[in-house]
């Protein structure tokens, strides 16, 4: 059971660094693969496989590291659509399922707050808190300095992963294909 700061209108939302770090990992892995080619003077098949293996491994590693709790978050918007009659520090309280985030990373469409407290309800919906997630996987990044809401987390709406599944499957397929080519050339 967590005691977390209450979310209010205009509090910040943030995404993890997993997308940016995945791209950096892809580039870094490709550079390492290219360096292996330069050092070994590899053939075309080895060259392509080495770059592909490095890129897919680097991309996967970057995604994992970027999603870790210690990795930096970047603010992507604010919360809107708070309660019409419950205020916290003079700002409308945010509720799961009815309140939204205006997220610059996920386009002009507002994303619903998808989590809140299982113990504290505002207008019959879970009260949202810092660290609760929106449907786009952004997390509530800031909250009230002096109002704490307890309880386990309750999910009210589906949460999309920050990195779509097809990207992970593509990285896996490229990495497996590259490994098969490299294994055959031994």
Using one digit for the tens of pLDDT, what is the confidence trace for 42-76? 666 666 776 777 777 667 666 666 666 666 777 88
Reference 57, options 26, 11, 15; nearest CA is 26
Residues 9-21 have a mean pLDDT of: 81
Q: Please compute the mean of the pLDDT values over residues 30-35 and round it to a whole number.
A: 70
Dihedral sign of CA atoms 64, 114, 80, 10 in order: negative
Write out pLDDT tens, residues 131-185.
999 998 899 999 999 999 999 999 999 998 776 777 667 767 777 777 777 677 6
Domains and CATH numbers, the chain: 4-16+73-155 (2.60.200.60), 18-68+164-184 (no CATH)
Res 109: pLDDT: 77
Question: What is the structure's pLDDT at 135?
Answer: 94
Query: Which pLDDT tens digit goes with each residue over 114-136?
Result: 999 999 999 999 999 999 999 98
How many helices and strands in the chain, by DSSP H and E? 3, 13
**pTM of the predicted model, to two decimals?**
0.70
pLDDT of residue 162: 74
Spell out the residues 6+ positions from residue 147 whose beta carbon is closer than 8 angstroms to its own. Answer: 5, 6, 88, 89
């Amino acid at each position: 059971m967590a005691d977390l700061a209450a979310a209010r209108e205009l509090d910040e939302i943030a995404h993890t660094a997993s997308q940016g770090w995945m791209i950096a990992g892809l580039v870094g892995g490709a550079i390492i693969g290219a360096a292996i080619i330069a050092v070994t003077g590899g053939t075309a098949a080895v060259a392509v496989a080495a770059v592909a293996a490095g890129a897919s491994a680097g991309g996967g590693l970057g995604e994992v590291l970027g999603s870790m709790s210690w990795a930096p978050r970047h603010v992507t918007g604010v919360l809107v659509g708070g309660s019409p009659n419950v205020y916290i520090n003079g700002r409308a309280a945010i509720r799961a399922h009815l309140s939204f985030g205006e997220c610059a990373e996920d386009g002009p469409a507002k994303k619903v707050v998808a989590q809140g407290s299982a113990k504290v309800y505002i207008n019959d919906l879970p009260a949202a808190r810092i660290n609760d997630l929106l449907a786009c996987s952004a997390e509530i990044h800031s909250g009230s300095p002096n109002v704490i809401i307890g309880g386990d987390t309750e999910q009210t709406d589906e949460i999309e992963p920050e990195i779509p599944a097809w990207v992970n499957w593509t990285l896996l397929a490229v990495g497996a294909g590259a490994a098969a080519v490299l294994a055959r050339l031994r």
